């Protein structure tokens, strides 16, 4: 790519300036979260505010684990998100493949039924969902947090993305597979799925984040602290008057955010380009 | 897995009749088997609950009292009389409209910036995108902390000699604050979609427009916008539907206050059902939420035909 004519050094400086200013509301809160979590209580509302802790301490981090079974809660969030991601991948890849490549009777109607999931966010059905899982005796377990995202409305976007991807594959690929004696599941598993890596990546990323961020469902379904997920646990660090214990909340928030952030920075190309290139393009 | 479906095809081939398991029939079966988990999930977790929402909305149901009585359309009458509903819908509309306008404008602005031929745009792209991967509640808590009366934002304003308001506790600024917090959380997602769309616009078109003497703004308005209009529509739909689901931010930052100024529909529905235990009325509110999502989606889908420049 040749540089554009007319991109003067002056314009460049201006553009960098604008970019840097734009960064502030994105980066500063993350910086502030991490640094405040290391400040002693006396410093967190100090004026003038200091970008770095004067006398850094890990007190807040100790409290995070003393006041709640935070390690347990962290594991809860992790394993729920992992199971939901794997489950969604399986469900959506199979369904997306069938909708894209198999002409079976009723496919059109089934597809319309599945697409209703896009119109009915879980917020709409949270009351009956609560009653259903209550009837089954599964309230205050992790089942609703796993089954609903994996099979219900949130999985539909995943299926749609998979379908959009599988539709683009040329028919010759499958014909070649047929000649080699593969059946439908063989064509899916050996030929099409390995090619779907970008779609799989995109679905995995946004499914994981969706599960990791869930808030309404956990506070509706879970009541014992040892079963809580991270988002729910974060808001539980309050003092005797119900006011937030800021440095403890921020320490827990930092612990929840950092690992995902680090993975993101290391694999940002896959994240960003994967999301941009797959079916989400419309 | 393959063999599972191949076997019956070979076995009964002794008579002169065609084998039952033709390729067509096997495809039928495979198709149904493959969509079965998704279909079952949608029936169990979307269709049936949606039917139950309608059923519940016809009942007076107080969980604490254990009462479940058929009351016909009374909940709908209550909905029409609900003094709170007006403010709630206004807050919902304000949040959605504010968020969509700001989100799409900022996303497009950042995408255009990043699309310039500058060194280091990948770094900036990563920074703008990073809040997307930060735990939603964590992000909300930090902003809640920053927006306290004696918090970071006001401290910095103070250094500049400005006396900032109590952002989350004043009627005028609470909604704006919630919108801004959500804006910076997710604008990176739309930005990335726009960036991909911008990179798909052929350079020759800009060249041609330049030769015709079009200004930078005219090129943006007449070449870029029409060509990326499918992405604009897509991000608009995703952002609007997403904005109607906002809950955690409200619950953490303002609990719907001050007054009811940030009580959006989902938060109101949560309060009615899970704090006041009015499941029947909550279900009526759920239906209202569903109708809003439905109408907005249909309207936007229709706009697609008139407004979107090209489709592939």
Show me where the domains of chain A are located: 70-244+259-281
Q: What is the structure's pLDDT at A249? A: 94
Q: How far apart are the C-alpha atoms of A261 and B210, rounded to whole Å? A: 41
Q: How far is B6 from chain A (nearest CA, A)?
A: 7
Q: Chain B contact for A121, CB < 8 A?
A: yes
Q: Chain B contact for A138, CB < 8 A?
A: no
Q: What's the CATH architecture for A70-244+259-281?
A: Orthogonal Bundle (1.10)
The crossing angle, in degrees rounded to 10, of helices B85-114 and B121-133 is: 160
Whether A245 and A131 have beta carbons less than 8 Å apart is answered as no
How does DSSP assign A232-266, residue by residue? HHHTT-B-TTS-B-HHHHHHHHHHHHHHHHHHHHH
Q: Chain B contact for A208, CB < 8 A?
A: no
Q: What is the structure's pLDDT at A5? A: 54
Q: Chain B contact for A236, CB < 8 A?
A: no
Q: Which residues in chain A are closer than 8 Å to B131, comparing Cβ atoms?
A: 26, 29-30
Q: Which residues in chain A are closer than 8 Å to B231, comparing Cβ atoms?
A: 281-282
Structure tokens at B84: 């709170």
B84-307 belongs to CATH 1.10.1040.10: no
Residue carrying the six token digits 């209009």: B229
Q: Which residues in chain A are closer than 8 Å to B128, comparing Cβ atoms?
A: 22-23, 26
- 197-226 in chain B: CB under 8 A from chain A: 197
* CB contact (8 A) between residue B134 and residue A246: no
* CB contact (8 A) between residue A30 and residue B274: no
Least Cα distance to A88 among A146, A138, A143, A141 occurs for A146
Tens digit of each residue's pLDDT (9 = 90 or more) over B20-71: 888 888 889 999 999 999 999 999 999 999 999 999 999 988 777 778 888 8
* CB contact (8 A) between residue B34 and residue A97: yes
Assign B61 to helix, strand or coil: strand
Whether B239 and B64 have beta carbons less than 8 Å apart is answered as no
Tens digit of each residue's pLDDT (9 = 90 or more) over A14-37: 999 999 999 999 999 999 999 999
Structure tokens at A147: 């089954």
Q: How far is A232 from chain B (nearest CA, A)?
A: 8
Q: Please confirm whether the linkage preceding A48 is cis (ω < 30° from 0).
A: yes
Q: Chain B contact for A53, CB < 8 A?
A: no
Q: How far apart are the C-alpha atoms of A235 and A244, rounded to whole Å? A: 8
Q: Which residues in chain A are closer than 8 Å to B282, comparing Cβ atoms?
A: 127
Q: How far apart are the C-alpha atoms of A13 and B130, rounded to whole Å? A: 24
Q: How far apart are the C-alpha atoms of A176 and A189, rounded to whole Å? A: 14
Regions of chain A where pLDDT drops below 70:
1-6, 277-282
Closest residue in A to B150 (Cα–Cα): A45
Report the helix count and the strand count for chain A, using DSSP H and E.
15, 0
Closest residue in A to B311 (Cα–Cα): A282
Whether B199 and B115 have beta carbons less than 8 Å apart is answered as yes
Q: Positive or negative, the Cα torsion across B172, B244, B274, A224? A: negative
Residue A241 main-chain phi, psi, to 5 deg: -95, 5
The ipTM estimated for the assembled molecules is 0.91
Summary mean pLDDT of chain A: 90
Least Cα distance to A245 among A30, A51, A49, A36 occurs for A36
Q: Which residues in chain A are closer than 8 Å to B61, comparing Cβ atoms?
A: none
Regions of chain B where pLDDT drops below 70:
1-17, 306-312
Least Cα distance to B12 among B20, B1, B22 occurs for B20
Q: How far apart are the C-alpha atoms of B42 and B48, rounded to whole Å? A: 8
Q: Which residues in chain A are closer than 8 Å to B202, comparing Cβ atoms?
A: none
Structure tokens at B223: 């070449």
* CB contact (8 A) between residue B135 and residue A260: yes
Q: Chain B contact for A31, CB < 8 A?
A: no
Q: Chain A contact for B117, CB < 8 A?
A: yes
Mutate to test the interface with A, among B3, B142, B236 (most CBs of A within 10 A): B142
Q: Which residues in chain A are closer than 8 Å to B286, comparing Cβ atoms?
A: 123-127
* CB contact (8 A) between residue A125 and residue B46: yes
This prediction's pTM: 0.89
Phi-psi region of B161 (alpha: psi -120 to 50; beta: other; left: phi over 0): left
**A125 closest CB neighbour out of B4, B133, B286:** B286
């Amino acid at each position: 790519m040749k540089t554009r004519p007319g991109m003067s050094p002056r314009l460049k400086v201006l553009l960098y300036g604008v970019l840097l200013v734009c960064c502030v509301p994105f980066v500063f809160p993350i910086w502030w979260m991490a640094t405040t979590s290391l400040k002693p209580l006396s410093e967190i509302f100090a004026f003038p505010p200091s970008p770095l802790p004067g006398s850094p301490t890990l007190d807040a981090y100790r409290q995070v684990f003393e006041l709640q079974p935070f390690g347990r809660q962290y594991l809860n969030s992790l394993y729920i998100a992992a199971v939901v991601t794997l489950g969604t991948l399986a469900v959506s890849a199979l369904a997306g493949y069938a909708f894209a490549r198999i002409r079976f009777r009723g496919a059109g109607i089934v597809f319309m039924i599945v697409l209703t999931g896009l119109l009915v966010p879980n917020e709409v059905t949270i009351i009956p969902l609560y009653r259903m899982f209550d009837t089954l005796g599964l309230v205050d377990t992790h089942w609703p947090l796993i089954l609903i995202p994996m099979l219900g409305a949130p999985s539909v976007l995943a299926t749609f993305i998979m379908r959009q991807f599988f539709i683009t594959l040329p028919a010759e690929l499958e014909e070649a597979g047929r000649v080699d004696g593969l059946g439908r599941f063989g064509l899916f598993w050996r030929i099409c799925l390995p090619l779907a890596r970008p779609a799989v990546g995109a679905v995995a990323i946004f499914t994981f984040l969706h599960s990791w961020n869930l808030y309404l469902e956990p506070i509706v379904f879970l009541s014992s602290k040892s079963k809580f997920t991270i988002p729910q646990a974060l808001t539980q660090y309050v003092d005797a008057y119900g006011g937030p214990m800021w440095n403890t909340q921020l320490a827990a928030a930092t612990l929840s955010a950092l690992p995902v952030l680090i993975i993101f920075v290391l694999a940002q190309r896959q994240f960003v380009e994967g999301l941009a290139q797959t079916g989400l393009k419309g | 897995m393959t063999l599972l479906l191949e076997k019956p095809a070979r076995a009964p081939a002794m008579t002169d009749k065609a084998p039952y398991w033709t390729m067509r029939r096997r495809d039928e079966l495979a198709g149904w088997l493959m969509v079965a988990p998704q279909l079952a999930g949608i029936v169990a977790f979307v269709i049936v609950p949606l039917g139950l929402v309608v059923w519940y909305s016809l009942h007076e149901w107080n969980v604490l009292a254990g009462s479940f009585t058929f009351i016909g359309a009374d909940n709908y009458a209550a909905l029409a009389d609900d003094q709170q509903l007006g403010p709630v819908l206004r807050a919902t509309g304000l949040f959605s409209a504010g968020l969509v306008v700001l989100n799409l404008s900022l996303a497009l602005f950042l995408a255009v910036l990043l699309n310039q031929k500058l060194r280091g745009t990948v770094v900036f792209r990563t920074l703008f995108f990073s809040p997307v991967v930060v735990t939603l509640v964590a992000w909300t808590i930090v902003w809640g902390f920053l927006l306290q009366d004696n918090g970071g934002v006001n401290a910095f304003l103070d250094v500049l000699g400005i006396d900032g308001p109590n952002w989350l506790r004043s009627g005028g600024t609470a909604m704006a604050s919630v919108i801004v917090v959500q804006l910076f959380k997710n604008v990176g997602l739309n930005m990335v979609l726009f960036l991909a769309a911008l990179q798909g616009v052929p350079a020759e078109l800009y060249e041609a427009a330049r030769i015709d003497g079009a200004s930078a703004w005219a090129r943006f308005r007449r070449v870029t916008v029409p060509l990326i209009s499918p992405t604009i529509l897509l991000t608009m739909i995703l952002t609007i539907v997403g904005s109607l689901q906002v809950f955690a931010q409200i619950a953490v930052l303002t609990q719907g206050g001050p007054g009811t100024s940030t009580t959006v529909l989902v938060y109101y529905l949560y309060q009615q059902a899970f704090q006041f235990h009015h499941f029947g009325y909550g279900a009526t509110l759920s239906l209202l939420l569903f109708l809003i999502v439905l109408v907005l989606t249909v309207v936007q889908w229709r706009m697609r035909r008139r407004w979107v420049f090209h489709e592939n």
